[in-house]
Every structure is written in structure tokens, then in C-alpha cells.
Chain A
Amino acid sequence: MPEDLHLEKLELFYQRQKVCGPINCRFSRGKINLVVGRAGSGKSTLLKAIAGFHNEVKGSISLDSQVFQADGNIALAFQNPENLFFNPTVGEEVCFALNQKGQSRDSNEEIGKKWLERWGLDAQKYWHKHPLELSGGEKRKVALSACTVLLPPVIMLDEPLAGLDYAGQLKLVEILEEIACDHIVLLVTHDPELLLPISSGILFLQNEEADYYEINQFIRNAVSSSDFYPLPKWYCQALRPFDGIREFPMINAASVHEFLQKKVE
């Protein structure tokens, strides 16, 4: 499995207008790599550029020092899950990539069902349903499982938390933590606080520029000034007293809940 994806002097353009860049950073496997930024900062365009779907690009992308050419070695879950659907049933959606690889249909169905269950959907119940008839959260889960079932070396997810309930978000974090051990995972999000404990770094896109931060440095900047990046108020207030120490304790809503419950008891 590849070790890192290196972006060097990468500049993104949209209809000849510069969107962002130059981006210089190295996304590695082992932990998740986050991409954040305000709406329109170029996050989705960056993922599409790496996937080879956006060609207005300057600079270079390399995978383990080799020029990176997206060709059956990436998975990209779009922001809108409906954009991924083109089959009449959930089962066909999940098994599409497996079937394209030419394995036997029976074994693919078994793998697909297991993978769908892993994402928290009952395969028996959903297998023959039309993907567009599902709820927002269910569509998201089907799209994520259909995209990741092949587990290619580079996995990119565009705002995967959107539309998921809290249990679904925790499930996603759990699965991504596992996948990131062997794959390079890039994740675009507007709610990074849930993913910070399992991330190695953050690429922050703003004002046509891109800066890469270590997690602690990013939290320190966000906690000291809400103008830097708007993390939730409760998150910043909980972490502000730890500003002096080297590494911030990693918290999320679950740990805060646990702490409060202990206090009540």
C-alpha cells in the first residue's frame, strides 16, 4: 500500500480564475488527512483534481514519489450522494465496482452485503430498494459504502458527515480510522472537531491560499481566535484552559457527555 500522496506547487483554477494555491503538502496513511475551508475555497475542486475529474490544474501530484495518475486507484464520495447513483437498486450500486473487477457475482454480493452492514444499513432490508427512495442519511451511507467497497489506495470523502445522525457519524469515524491504517484517506469537512483525534494534519484553504497545520497547531490557532477557524464554542471553551500545554487533550461531544455524567453521579 502507498505511503504518501504529495502535492507540490499545486494550483487550482476554475474557468481560468485561480481558486486556490500553490498547495504544498504531504498526505500520509495511518491517520486521516483533513481538508477544511469556507464554502467556495476549493476543497471539493481539490479532491476532483486529485481524482482526475478537474483538469484546470498546475503543479504536480505524486504517489510515493511516482507521478500520480488516477486510474482505478481512487475512490471519491461526492458531497451530494445522489450524484453517485445510476443503478436501480442499492445492491447493484454497492456491487458495481466489484462486478467491474470481474469477480464472481455471488461472492461480490456476499462482500457487498457485509460491507453495507458495516456502514450500519440492514442489507436484507435495503438491498433491493431504489437508492433515490432512501432518506438523506441512508443515501449517504449507501454512497459511502458503494465508493469504498473496493478500498483503492487513495480514498477521498467530500463532507461525509452531512446528513448523518450522531450514531452514524461515530460509525463513520470508526470505519475511517480502520481504513486509514492501510489507505491514504482525505476528508473534506465543515465539522472537523469529531475527526481531529484520528487525524494527522489539516490542510486549511482560505483566500486563494493553502496552509498545512499539525492538529495541535490548528486547534491552538482556532481556540485563541475564532476569526482563524470557527470551531464550536463549547469546544473552544473546553480547550482554552489547556492552551499553555504542548498537546491539547482530544475531546468530542461523547467525552464531554461522559464527563458531565460522572459529575452528576
Chain B
Amino acid sequence: MLITFSPKESFLYSINPVIKGLITLFLIIAFSVIASGPVELGILLATVVIFSLLGRVDLLPIIFSLRKIFFLLFIVGLIQGFSQGEFDFLLALEAILRIVGVFFSAGIFVTISSQTELMYFWEQTFRPLALFGLPARELALVMVIAVRFLPVILSEIDRIRIAQMARGAKLSGGFGLSAVKSLLPLMIPTLSLAIVRAGDLALAMEARGYCVSRSRTRFRHYRVEFIDLLGLLLCLGIIFALMKF
């Protein structure tokens, strides 16, 4: 189960993409750096989950994906727990909640944002860079293409692995150099296919009139509505309230 955009009709989905991005950014900052205990972090995480459920966000792929970082959570929990000599469960829980909170915030943002919205968000984020002569739009496009093609590349790796095993080839694992050596037959075709795919994509974009030097019009216009600002203020309010708590 991959975390990807799953379209639904709800207030969370209809928020302006830049505001969605800002809310996610504030939540990530809150979970990462705000000095609070596990209770405050737990309340913040619960609030995020409740709002997501009210906004009809499918949380199952995010929960399933959490299993992949289970080992990381365990290690971080251990390190933090033993950071002051004897094992402190609350410290371990706090560290785990921080990572889970960041993971949930980013996961929910990806789930409720379409490719066009993500593109718009990155464009607006990179906009200040244009002042220094950097190609903000192109950078945004690169970001979106990279995010868009990550699942494609992952499924391609899986396809190649299965295609190799289907021929009676034994893909030995091992450790160190042998592990790297066993990955080579997988990585070389993946890389070469990714380059071929990039060429195809460039051709497809040019065939539809894409040109780096020209300025483009926008099919969808996103305006910041009152409800968007209300959402942003609500998010900031909850974070500040928990800081004071």
C-alpha cells in the first residue's frame, strides 16, 4: 500500500494547496522541535487523526507504511529512553510520537493533494528563488516529477526482481560487498529503464507544447478563501495552546 493521492470530497481536500502545505509545515515543525511532553504530542497527533477522519482521509496506507519504519522507531525509542542513564519510557514515547507525527502530517498532505496542487504548492514555495534568477517553475516541476515517478520506479524495481527470479536466477543476498554485488543486476536495468522513461517523458511533454523558456498560463486557479485562513489559524491556535498547556 503506497501513500498516494486518493481523491475524495471534503473540507480538507478543498483547502488551498499553499495553505495545505503551510499547515503541514507548521505541524512538522510542531512535532519536531516544540519542547513538550508525550501528553501534548499525543493530543496533537490525536487532533490530526480526528481532523483527518472528519475530512474523509484514508489513513490505512499511512498506518501500513508505518510498519516499514517500525525498526527505526524501535531504535530511536531505545536511544532516547536510555539517554539519561536508566530507561525512561516517557522519553522513548516522546521521541516515537515526534516521528509518527511528522510521518502522519506528510502522509496526509500527500493523500489530500493532487499532482496539480503539489505542482502549484512547489511553484509558490520556490517563487522567492526567482528573485535570484533561479528557474522556480522548472525546479517545482522537477520536484513534482520526482515525487510522481517514485512509485513507478519502485514498482519497476519489483517487476525486474520478479522477472529475474522467474528465470530460475537465484538472487543471493548476504552482507557487505556480496550484498552490493547482488544488487547490481537489479540496479543497472532499473537505472537504464529510468533514463529511457525520462527521455519518453521529455518527448511526451514537448509533443504537448512544453517549452522551458516560455511563460505558461494556468488552467486551474487557486484562490485563498476565508475558510483556508480559518484552517491555518485553527492549526496555529491548537499548536500554541498545546505549547502553553
On whether the two chains bind one another, the answer is: yes
Name A's B-contacting residues (CB within 8 A): 51-53, 70-78, 83-88, 96-97, 100-101, 146-147, 149-150, 152
B169:A96 contact, CB within 8 angstroms: yes
Chain B binding surface SS class: helix
Complex: A143 Cα to B165 Cα, angstroms: 13
B169:A97 contact, CB within 8 angstroms: yes
- How far in angstroms is the closest Cβ of chain B from A56? 14
A86:B166 contact, CB within 8 angstroms: no
B166:A72 contact, CB within 8 angstroms: no
Q: Which 9 A-B pairs have the closest CB atoms?
A: A72-B170, A152-B168, A86-B189, A97-B167, A150-B168, A100-B169, A76-B166, A86-B160, A84-B163
Contacts of B170 in A (CB 8 A): 71-72, 100
Complex: A77 Cα to B163 Cα, angstroms: 9
B162 at interface (Cβ–Cβ under 8 A)? Answer: yes
Whether A78 touches B166, Cβ cut-off 8 Å, given contacts A86-B193, A87-B189, A88-B192, is yes
B164 at interface (Cβ–Cβ under 8 A)? Answer: yes
Chain A binding surface SS class: loop
- How far in angstroms is the closest Cβ of chain B from A248? 35
Whether A96 touches B165, Cβ cut-off 8 Å, given contacts A83-B159, A86-B193, A88-B192, is no
Complex: A182 Cα to B187 Cα, angstroms: 35
Cβ contacts A to B, 14 pairs, < 8 Å: A51-B165, A53-B166, A70-B165, A72-B169, A73-B168, A74-B166, A75-B166, A78-B163, A86-B163, A96-B169, A100-B185, A146-B167, A147-B168, A150-B169
Contacts of B193 in A (CB 8 A): 86
A75:B167 contact, CB within 8 angstroms: yes
A96:B168 contact, CB within 8 angstroms: no
- How far in angstroms is the closest Cβ of chain A from B90? 37
Complex: A146 Cα to B169 Cα, angstroms: 11
Contacts of A101 in B (CB 8 A): 169
Hey, what's the 0/1 contact readout for B195-218 against A, CB within 8 Å counting as 1?
000000000000000000000000
B168:A85 contact, CB within 8 angstroms: no
| Beta-carbon nearest neighbor of A150 in chain B | B168
Contacts of A77 in B (CB 8 A): 166
Complex: A101 Cα to B193 Cα, angstroms: 24
Contacts of B168 in A (CB 8 A): 72-75, 97, 147, 150, 152
Complex: A96 Cα to B163 Cα, angstroms: 11
Contacts of A97 in B (CB 8 A): 167-169
B185:A147 contact, CB within 8 angstroms: no
6 new A-B contacts, CB < 8 A, other than A78-B166, A97-B168, are A72-B169, A73-B168, A86-B163, A86-B189, A149-B167, A150-B167
Hey, what's the 0/1 contact readout for B103-138 against A, CB within 8 Å counting as 1?
000000000000000000000000000000000000
| Beta-carbon nearest neighbor of A70 in chain B | B165
Give residues 166-197 of B contacting A (CB, 8 Å). Answer: 166-170, 185, 189, 192-193
Contacts of A83 in B (CB 8 A): 159, 163
Contacts of A52 in B (CB 8 A): 165
Complex: A72 Cα to B173 Cα, angstroms: 13
Complex: A72 Cα to B166 Cα, angstroms: 8
| Beta-carbon nearest neighbor of B193 in chain A | A86
Complex: A97 Cα to B170 Cα, angstroms: 9
Hey, what's the 0/1 contact readout for B143-173 against A, CB within 8 Å counting as 1?
0000000000000000110111111111000
- How far in angstroms is the closest Cβ of chain B from A251? 33
Contacts of B163 in A (CB 8 A): 78, 83-86
Complex: A97 Cα to B166 Cα, angstroms: 10
- How far in angstroms is the closest Cβ of chain A from B161? 10
- How far in angstroms is the closest Cβ of chain A from B178? 13
Contacts of B165 in A (CB 8 A): 51-53, 70
Complex: A240 Cα to B159 Cα, angstroms: 45
A147:B166 contact, CB within 8 angstroms: yes
Contacts of A87 in B (CB 8 A): 189
Complex: A147 Cα to B103 Cα, angstroms: 41
Contacts of A86 in B (CB 8 A): 159-160, 163-164, 189, 193
Contacts of B192 in A (CB 8 A): 88
Contacts of B160 in A (CB 8 A): 86
B167:A96 contact, CB within 8 angstroms: yes
Most buried by B among A83, A86, A96, A101: A86
